């Protein structure tokens, strides 16, 4: 990553964390002239993660987590179809990680024919969904239950996850920007995702189409870090182009059959 890209990412994260920042504050924080700050801000505005306001800039999205049950209901059919598609990537004997998030929670429902699969997860709903399947060995990552994500998180969760040899990791995201930043809203979940990213042989992003073009507080990966993106039939052509440029394979679900 070049110095300018690094600076832009730091500035973007600073603005998203603060939510409202004056141009003068950015000059002081990053030790830059007002003209350089204006050029950097213009790039971030074009990216879509921030917007200009009188005298400064602000976040262009809500940093606060939407409650789990509210997120769960959104695009549920598409998420189940994505998980059905993703389940085809799981083989007998695999050791997999399934992270928190409503897009990934249905994956275990489609693994009943697999043999001897070990599932590492901090996702409470994945744990509950896995109970009826004796073919799945579930390793629950420790932590305190975070109710907005229905997941177990702590400062140690990511460190413990890093001990395991993960064959395939299945990630959800709050949003993916047009530049390929894969983002989430929780700082504790960020550490878990980063540990899974660095410790997995294969990385798969499960992304319903409504998430593309959106940004959240933290960037836990780049699209180029993923081996494959599994998304739904409403996939934005720009996402496909982004994946092609970064040599990331793409799987798309089939559109539902039209009723009579």
Give the CATH number for residue 136: 3.40.50.1360
Q: Which of 59, 83, 98 is the last residue in one of the domains?
A: 59
Residue 260 lies in a domain: no
pLDDT (mean) for 158-175: 94
Task: Tell me: do 166 and 212 sit in the same domain.
Answer: yes
Task: Tell me: do 110 and 202 sit in the same domain.
Answer: yes
- Percent above pLDDT 90 for the chain: 56
Task: Tell me: do 123 and 243 sit in the same domain.
Answer: yes
For residue 183 the two structure tokens come to 């983002």
Phi/psi at 86 (5° precision):
-65, -30
Q: Which of 39, 59, 79 is the last residue in one of the domains?
A: 59
Task: Tell me: do 18 and 101 sit in the same domain.
Answer: no
Query: Residue 75: its pLDDT value, please?
Result: 66
pLDDT (mean) for 150-173: 93
Query: Residue 227: its pLDDT value, please?
Result: 98
- Quote the pTM value: 0.73
Query: Residue 89: its pLDDT value, please?
Result: 97
Check which CATH number belongs to the domain holding 55 and give it. Answer: 1.10.10
Task: Tell me: do 7 and 108 sit in the same domain.
Answer: no
**Helices 34-47 and 3-18: crossing angle, nearest 10°?**
80
Q: Considering its fold, how many domains does the chain have in total?
A: 2
Residue 160 lies in a domain: yes
Question: What tens digit of pLDDT does each residue of 53-80 get?
Answer: 877 888 776 544 444 444 444 568 889 9
Enclosing domain of residue 48: 3-59
Task: Tell me: do 52 and 72 sit in the same domain.
Answer: no
Average model confidence (pLDDT) for the chain?
87
Residue 157 lies in a domain: yes
Task: Tell me: do 34 and 91 sit in the same domain.
Answer: no
- Beta strand pairing call for 151-153 and 144-146: antiparallel
Task: Tell me: do 30 and 118 sit in the same domain.
Answer: no
Give Cα 139 distance to the centre of its chain. 21
Task: Tell me: do 72 and 109 sit in the same domain.
Answer: yes
- Percent above pLDDT 70 for the chain: 91
Strand order in the sheet with 181-184: 175-176, 181-184, 218-222
Q: Which of 59, 87, 106 is the last residue in one of the domains?
A: 59
Strand order in the sheet with 249-252: 136-140, 117-121, 95-98, 166-171, 200-207, 228-231, 249-252
* Residue 75 vs residue 105, higher pLDDT: 105
Task: Tell me: do 116 and 236 sit in the same domain.
Answer: yes
For residue 174 the two structure tokens come to 């709050």
Residue 258 lies in a domain: no
Residue 127 lies in a domain: yes
Task: Tell me: do 49 and 81 sit in the same domain.
Answer: no
Residue 259 lies in a domain: no
Task: Tell me: do 135 and 211 sit in the same domain.
Answer: yes
């Amino acid at each position: 990553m070049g110095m300018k890209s690094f600076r832009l990412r730091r500035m973007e994260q600073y603005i998203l964390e603060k939510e409202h920042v004056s141009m003068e504050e950015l000059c002081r924080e990053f030790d830059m002239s007002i003209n350089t700050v204006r050029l950097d801000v213009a790039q971030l505005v074009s990216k879509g993660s921030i917007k200009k306001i009188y005298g400064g800039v602000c976040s262009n999205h809500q940093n606060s987590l939407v409650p789990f049950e509210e997120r769960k209901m959104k695009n549920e059919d598409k998420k189940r179809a994505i998980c059905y598609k993703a389940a085809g990537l799981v083989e007998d004997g695999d050791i997999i990680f399934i992270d928190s998030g409503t897009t990934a929670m249905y994956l275990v429902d489609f693994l009943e024919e697999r043999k001897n699969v070990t599932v590492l997860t901090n996702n409470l709903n994945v744990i509950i969904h896995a109970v009826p399947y004796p073919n799945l060995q579930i390793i629950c990552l420790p932590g305190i239950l975070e109710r907005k994500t229905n997941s177990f998180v702590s400062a140690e969760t990511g460190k413990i996850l890093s001990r395991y040899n993960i064959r395939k990791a299945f990630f959800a995201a709050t949003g993916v920007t047009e530049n390929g930043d894969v983002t989430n809203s929780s700082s504790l979940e960020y550490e878990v995702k980063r540990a899974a990213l660095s410790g997995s042989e294969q990385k798969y992003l499960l992304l319903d189409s409504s998430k593309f073009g959106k940004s959240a507080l933290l960037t836990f990966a780049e699209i180029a870090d993923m081996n494959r993106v599994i998304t739904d039939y409403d996939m934005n052509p720009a996402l496909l182009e982004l994946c092609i440029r970064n040599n990331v394979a793409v799987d798309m679900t089939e559109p539902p059959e039209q009723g009579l």
